[in-house]
Structure formats: C-alpha cells, structure tokens
Amino acid sequence: MRIILTIIFLLVAGVQGFAQTYLPVTSKNKTYLATVKGLSYSYKNGLVTLKNNGRYDLGTVSIIASSKVDSNLFGIALFEEGLEKGKTVEAEMYFTTGLGKDSHDLLLKDVDHKNLLLSFDKATRAQ
C-alpha cells in the first residue's frame, strides 16, 4: 500500500512541474480586486480562454506571460471587445523576445510553454 501511495505522489509531483504557473493578483486596489473577482482564465497552446463569472461587464482585459527560464520573453493576450457577465471568450497570445532594437516576434513553436508565468495585466469595467 505504501509503495502505491509513493508512486501516485511521484506521478502527481511530476505532472506539477510541467504546467504553466498562474500568478495570483497582488494588487491592493479594492476596485480592481472587485473587477477581477470571478474572472478565470486558462492557457493552452497559444490560446487564452477567459471566463467572466464576476459581477461586472468588462471593457478591456489583458493577460501577460513571462518565462521562468527566459527573462526576455514577453507574451500578451488582449481582450478589447469587452466581455459580458457569464460569457467566455478566447484570444491568441502573442510572444516577443529580445530587448530594444533586437526585439522580435516569436513563433508559437519556439515558446517553452511549460515554463510560462501567466498573470492579469489589466482589467477595466465596461461603461
């Protein structure tokens, strides 16, 4: 029995190491926290799915990505069309790498998806 539990633990720990990391909201702004409360998103193969289970219709939302291993990697998914309560939308995440003049777009196949750090960048309420 002990061997089975050890094997299950190792399998779960192995899967945990290969998934993206979703960073929590660190803002102290009460209005912003109320705006993002109920929002959830997931990332898979360059596509971000955003679900609004919050209390507000949204105007603009952006989700950014960085990397645990490449400090120059930057990704962004923009939801500029707005998002009503209870709706789900998808947007493609665009990646760039490099600094200044050396900055260039990165193909999806060249991104190390396992080491991405995803977080909310901006969320506004609809007018």
Placement of tokens 């050890």 in the chain: 6
Tokens at 28, concatenated: 């102290």
Contact present, 66 and 75 (Cβ < 8 Å)? yes
Which pTM value belongs to this model?
A: 0.77
Q: How far apart are CA 86 and CA 83, in angstroms?
A: 8
Question: Could you tell me the residue ranges of all domains in the chain?
Answer: 21-125
Q: How far apart are CA 39 and CA 34, in angstroms?
A: 10
One digit per residue, pLDDT tens: the chain, 127 residues? 666 656 666 555 544 445 678 888 888 889 888 989 989 999 998 899 999 999 999 999 999 999 888 888 899 999 988 889 999 999 999 998 888 788 888 888 888 888 899 999 988 998 7
Contact present, 67 and 108 (Cβ < 8 Å)? no
Task: Report pLDDT digits (tens) over 89-113.
Answer: 999 999 988 887 888 888 888 888 8
Start-to-end CA distance of the chain, whole Å, equals 59
